[in-house]
Amino acid sequence: MSGGEGATTKVVWLLNKGDNTGMGQGGCGWAAGAVLRNEECVQQRSSMAQTLLEWCADNGFERHECSLCAAFGMNIAVYAKRGGREHQGRNNMIATFLSVEPDSLLAIHGTVVGKAVVLRFDQAGNPVDLPLQEFAVVTSFLNDIMQCAEPSEEREHAATLRMARAVFPYYTIGDTLENGGFGGNKRWCSLKQDGTLELDPPDMAVRPTYPC
């Protein structure tokens, strides 16, 4: 739900607990599993968005842009205290990975320490629901795209981002992103040279949680 006086919005809180306090080895692919296992470090809560944003401002939680996520079509932002020196036990690795830059694949504000909250926005900049199921997809896809893009040259990196944006609406948990698209359980989606998608099966639908 979003909009309207008194309306609440589903947000995701990321707590620096359990595996989320490590040093970032292995990327953020495990975050989707943490959602599915209902681990304490990833929590769904409903809040009045404006009230939550005011609370963030009053408590020193700055907006960390999630530019790589935006590049593949997910408009989210992490609110947390400014990144500091890495410290196992205080690190918030999921929040850090969400805020990496598309070009450098580095978190522009450094490692996020302490708890953080993730909000999703529509094209007009209004807060909208971020269900845990969709958040799990985002973290899984982000992990895949970082593995595809990391060894690439600049031109290949740009092509990877174009492909990722095109196929992201169809990606679900269990799919694996590759250089040409993604494959999963008896399904495939790839971006052809003419800019159109090749879908197998041909009637593959956009996942229900994708549209804002």
Return the pLDDT at 189.
Answer: 97
From residue 101, give the alpha-carbon distance in Å to each of 1, 25, 127, 180: 29, 18, 22, 22
Q: How far apart are CA 111 and CA 15, in angstroms?
A: 14
Max Cα-Cα span within the chain: 50
Q: Which DSSP symbol is given to 19?
A: G
How high is the pLDDT of residue 4?
46
The DSSP element (H or E) to which 68 belongs, if any, is: helix 67-71
pLDDT digits (tens, 9 = 90+) for 94-125: 998 898 888 766 665 678 889 999 999 998 99
- Digit-coded pLDDT (tens) for 148-189: 766 566 677 788 889 999 999 999 999 999 878 999 989 999
- Say what percent of the chain tops pLDDT 90: 54
The pLDDT of residue 56: 97
User: Residue 1: its pLDDT value, please?
Assistant: 45
Q: What is the pLDDT of residues 121-135, one digit of tens each?
A: 998 999 999 999 999
